[in-house]
Amino acid sequence: MQPDVGIVLGTGLTELVDHIASPTVVPYESIPHFVRPTVESHHGRLVFGTLAGRNVMVMQGRFHLYEGYDLAAITLPVRVMKELGAGTLILSNACGGLNPAFRTGDIAVITDHINLSGHSPLAGPNDDSLGPRFPDMFECYDRSLVELARRTALDLRIPLRQGVYAWVTGPNLETAAECRYLRIIGADLVGMSTVPETIVARHSGMRTLAFSVVTDMAIADNFSAVSLPDVLAAARATEPLLTRLVTAVVERM
């Protein structure tokens, strides 16, 4: 089966695979050069099947820089999706909310990002057969897909925020001072994933759409401790809405 759409599921966001018809499941450990996720809630499986009438390839569990993997390994699944025929990539993540207008449990569509990691998955020799040496990041989150997500959310009566996502390496969460800085430079959301995959998708000519689930608020002047169980609980509570939204977007593509 040749996938039309590649999907990457983030922390605590796995329910979508239950809606895939005729699924074929491939464990990461059976795929050459795939590494294994070490984070709780990240299953290590590729799921192929049909979602809303379209062939999809779903990454149930992603890899992160803080796990000790290099960016080539982290983004290899995106390269595989592209080589198998997927022209569109949909990403999801759990993140901290920096915009005081947001609330825990909100879904946001990402309109742009800030890479604060100091790293790029495109560093090193460039393979011109995969993409250009200096890919443009203009509208790396496809404007037409963002608009489709907004219209779809409106039709489904699902509240949808939008904003700029800041990528940090982690695994430690941010200090209050760092959150204040991130907000000053224009970030609405902060997390530890998504940007590497977006850069590689852009490099390879894929259209990208990304959603964040705000699992905690990181407001510098109203700061509090965050636990992983709280993050997972917030992600699970919002997951049914995100699943409905992503399914409807895929159907309308």
Q: How many domains are contained in the chain?
A: 1
Q: Give me the pLDDT at residue 37, please.
A: 82
What pLDDT shows up at residue 172? 94
Written as one letter, the residue type at 46 is L
pLDDT value of position 40: 65
Nearest to 207 by CA among 10, 1, 50, 7: 7
133: left (phi over 0), alpha (psi -120 to 50) or beta: alpha
Please report, in tens digits, the pLDDT of each residue of the chain (253 residues total). Answer: 799 999 999 876 788 999 999 999 999 999 999 998 877 666 889 999 999 999 999 999 899 999 999 999 999 999 999 999 999 999 999 999 999 999 999 999 999 999 999 999 999 999 999 999 999 999 999 999 999 999 999 999 999 999 999 999 999 999 999 999 999 999 999 999 999 999 999 999 999 999 999 999 999 888 889 888 888 899 999 999 999 999 999 999 9
Check which CATH number belongs to the domain holding 19 and give it.
3.40.50.1580
For residues 135, 141, 143, 145, the Cα torsion angle rounded to the nearest 10 degrees is 130
* Structural domain boundaries enclosing 225: 5-252
User: What is the pTM (predicted TM-score) of this model?
Assistant: 0.96
Q: How buried is residue 105: exposed, middle or buried, by Cβ count under 10 Å (0-12/13-18/19+)?
A: middle
User: Computed from CA positions of residues 26, 29, 35, 39, in that sequence, does the dihedral angle turn out positive or negative?
Assistant: positive
Phi first, then psi: give them for residue 230, nearest 5 degrees.
-65, -40
